[in-house]
Amino acid sequence: MGENQAPSIFKLLSNDLRWQLLKAISQSDLRVQELTDLLGQPQNLVSYHLQKLHDAGLVIEHQSIADGREIYYGINLNQIQSLFRITQVTLHPGLTLNRENKYHFPPLRVLFLCTHNSARSQMAEGFLRVKSLSQIKTFSAGTDPRPVNPMAIVVMEEFNIDIHEQQSKNQNQFLNQPFDFVITVCDRAREFCPTFPGNPVMIHWSIADPTEINGALEAQHKIFRATAQELDQRIDYFLAGISGQTILKDNHVVEK
């Protein structure tokens, strides 16, 4: 990139539809048809611009574990952050100064859902509880609950988070409770998610089930740790975004 040339990410995102696509999937992983309905654009046009974003590494594809014919599109936070850091250095070194962010959260209620409530949702619950300093009331449940996986407990200890006292729960016990956010971390849970009172913001993170990995403990540990790292990052961005200006509600992008 020449010194006087605009960074490629600016050129890529100068297209309004590409920017809208990134904003839509920055909060929740979505399928092409959902993006088409959300943005009111033809499917072929949405697919074309998604491919452009994917080719640039800004978008990640996840094949649904519930229906292999479906593809979820999510934002590649690491790549975008890296590109913006390069842009900051190019424009002015002072933009890279590290400033510690401290957040104060309103008394929100958040529910994480997955199939067995044994790994992903349990880890997500632990991360959010600790990172929000327990300011956010955090819960997790499953459609077919199983005991908390021992490897999930081990890996979370590596992040200095103790979840050994957390218990698996059935989502049915929460059906009459209001939540501000319901976050599905499993494609199956998302595609069969029940309706909750209070019209919560529905978010989906398409994350593979680490309990489906068989083999040596080393292999299991590796996939569980990768899952924890993804949840760690997702929840950091979720917390930072709570005070942002844009949310996704009722399948529409709305401003606070």
Catalytic center residues: 114, 186, 193
Q: What are the backbone angles phi and psi of residue 222, rounded to the nearest 5°?
A: -60, -45
Say if residue 184 is exposed, middle or buried (CB neighbours under 10 Å; 0-12, 13-18, 19+). buried
Contact between 154 and 119 (Cβ < 8 Å): no
Residue 124: count other Cβ atoms within 10 Å of its Cβ: 28
